[in-house]
C-alpha cells in the first residue's frame, strides 16, 4: 500500500503521509482566531488554546462552541465536576479536508456529542477534562465539548 504525499497549500511544507494537517499553518489559524471567542473564564480559555496550538491532527484539539449550536440537549448525569449532557451539534466538527477550499470544513452535521457544564471548581473541571482528553479522546476519538 503506497502512501500519498501531501504538501500544505499555504506554505508548501511536506505533510505527514495521508494527512493535510500543517502544524505551523493550523497553529497560525488558531492564534488568529483567539480574539473571536471566549468562554468567559481565562483558565478554560488558556486550556482550550493550549489544545489547539499543540494539536497534531484535526481531531486532537478542543474548541469553544456556543450553546446555541446544539439541539436535542438532554441531561445525562450530575457530578461534583459538572453536569453531563448529550446533544446534536448542528454544524459538526471541521475535520474533513476540502481540496477546493484548501482547508478543513464541517461535513458531518447533527453529530451526537457529549457536553460538560462547568461545576463549582474550575480547577477540578479542567483536571477532569484533561484526564478525559488524554485517556478517552485520544484512544476512542470521541467528541467532547465544553459548555458554560
How do residues 75-86 score in pLDDT, each as one tens digit? 988 776 678 899
Angle between helix 42-53 and 23-33 (nearest 10): 160
Structural contact between residues 34 and 41, judged by C-beta atoms closer than 8 angstroms: no
How do residues 92-133 score in pLDDT, each as one tens digit? 888 888 888 878 888 888 889 888 777 667 777 777 777 777
pLDDT score of 69: 93
pLDDT band at 67, cuts 50/70/90? confident
- pLDDT tops 50 at residue 1: no
Structural contact between residues 112 and 144, judged by C-beta atoms closer than 8 angstroms: no
Amino acid at each position: 500500500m503506497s502512501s500519498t504525499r501531501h504538501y500544505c497549500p499555504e506554505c508548501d511544507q511536506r505533510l505527514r503521509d495521508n494527512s493535510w494537517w500543517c502544524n505551523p499553518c493550523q497553529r497560525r489559524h488558531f492564534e488568529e482566531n483567539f480574539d473571536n471567542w471566549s468562554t468567559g473564564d481565562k483558565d478554560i480559555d488558556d486550556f482550550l488554546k493550549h489544545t489547539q496550538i499543540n494539536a497534531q491532527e484535526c481531531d486532537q484539539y478542543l474548541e469553544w462552541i456556543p450553546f446555541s449550536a446544539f439541539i436535542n440537549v438532554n441531561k445525562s448525569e450530575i457530578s461534583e465536576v459538572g453536569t453531563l449532557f448529550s446533544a446534536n451539534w448542528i454544524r459538526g466538527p471541521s475535520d474533513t479536508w476540502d481540496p477546493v477550499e484548501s482547508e478543513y470544513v464541517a461535513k458531518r452535521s447533527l453529530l451526537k456529542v457529549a457536553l460538560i457544564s462547568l461545576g463549582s471548581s474550575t480547577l477540578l473541571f479542567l483536571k477532569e477534562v484533561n484526564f478525559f482528553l488524554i485517556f478517552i479522546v485520544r484512544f476512542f476519538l470521541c467528541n467532547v465539548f465544553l459548555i458554560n
